[in-house]
Amino acid sequence: MDYSLSSSSSSSSGLVSERRGIPGASFVEDVQMYLHQLGLDVNSALAFLQERLQQYKLVEMKLLAQQRDLQAKIPDIEKCLDIVATLQAKKGTGEALVTDFEVSEGIYSRARIDDTGSVCLWLGANVMLEYTYEEANALLEKNLENAKASLEVLVDDLQFLRDQVTITQVTIARVYNWDVHQRRSKQVGTTVVGDS
């Protein structure tokens, strides 16, 4: 296949060529021209488009998994912020925070958390660091903000991807329809002589 041709293939207008590694699907104005430019017959064009569609579906699954992860991460961070706020509210009162916590599944014990003014945050990679409430709060807020921003970008990526899927599906239907139409007029052409 000639790549210089396929990349400039079809007269598409106002299309994004790619977004974060996802190739854009080109809109086909004229099916016959499209096939001619690609130098493909109907079956190979359909096979090519189907393959592209499968690739899109694969990327969609990957992005959806990422989206689910982020959507789970956000409430987790919010939970952490909640407990830091609870500790902070007790600060300076001199009272200890009394909590029941899970020791093992279904087994609870009671803990008195004295007002020490600090919490330890698990940073990952087996590292835990002690922070003041204010610092912990700031760090968690920043994490929350980042997670929300990533989610937003991801949602945009998914929307872009779905547009490409829709374009490809429509193109497949049109190539198919064009072929059916082509065959039909050929049939008419053989029975009724003189039909151009």
Partner 1 sequence: MQKQGGGSEIEVTWEDQQNINKFGRLNNRFHEIEDEIRLAKEANENLEDASNELILTDEEMVRLQVGEVFVHTPREDVENKIEQMKEVTMKNLEKLEEEKDSVVAQMAELKKILYGKFNDSINLEED
Instruction: Say whether residue 187 binds partner 1 (CB under 8 A).
Output: no
Q: Which is nearer to partner 1, 2 or 71 (CB)?
A: 71
Q: How far is the CB of 84 from partner 1 (least distance, A)?
A: 9
142: contact with partner 1 by CB under 8 A: no
Per CB under 8 A, contacts with partner 1 among 75-94 are 79-80, 82-83, 86
Contacts 24+ apart (CB under 8 A), 7-13: 9/34, 9/37, 9/38, 10/34, 10/37
Q: Is 18 in the site for partner 1 (CB under 8 A)?
A: no
Smaller CB separation from partner 1, 38 or 161: 161
> Least CB distance from residue 100 to partner 1, whole Å?
4
Residue 8 binds to partner 1 (criterion: CB under 8 A): no
**Residue of the chain from 18, 108, 148, 156 that contacts partner 1 (CB under 8 A):** 108
Rounded Cα gap, residues 176 and 43, in angstroms: 9
Out of 19, 52, 91, 174, the only residue in the binding site for partner 1 (CB under 8 A) is: 174
186 binds partner 1 (CB under 8 A): no
Minimum distance of partner 1 from residue 172's CB (angstroms): 9
The residue within the footprint of partner 1, chosen from 53, 70, 74, 97 (CB under 8 A), is 97
Size of interface with partner 1, in residues (CB under 8 A):
32
Could you write out the three-class secondary structure of the chain? CCHHHHHCCCCCCCCCCEECCEECCCCCCCHHHHHHHHCCCHHHHHHHHHHHHHHHHHHHHHHHHHHHHHHHHHHHHHHHHHHHHHHHHHCCCCCCEEEEEEEECCEEEEEEECCCCEEEEEEECCEEEEEEHHHHHHHHHHHHHHHHHHHHHHHHHHHHHHHHHHHHHHHHHHHHHHHHHHHHHHHHHHHCCCCC
128 sits near partner 1 (criterion: CB under 8 A): no
Structural contact between residues 72 and 147, judged by C-beta atoms closer than 8 angstroms: no
User: Residues interacting with partner 1, by CB under 8 A?
Assistant: 12-14, 27, 29, 79-80, 82-83, 86, 97-102, 108, 111, 159, 162-163, 166-167, 169-170, 173-174, 176-177, 180-181, 184
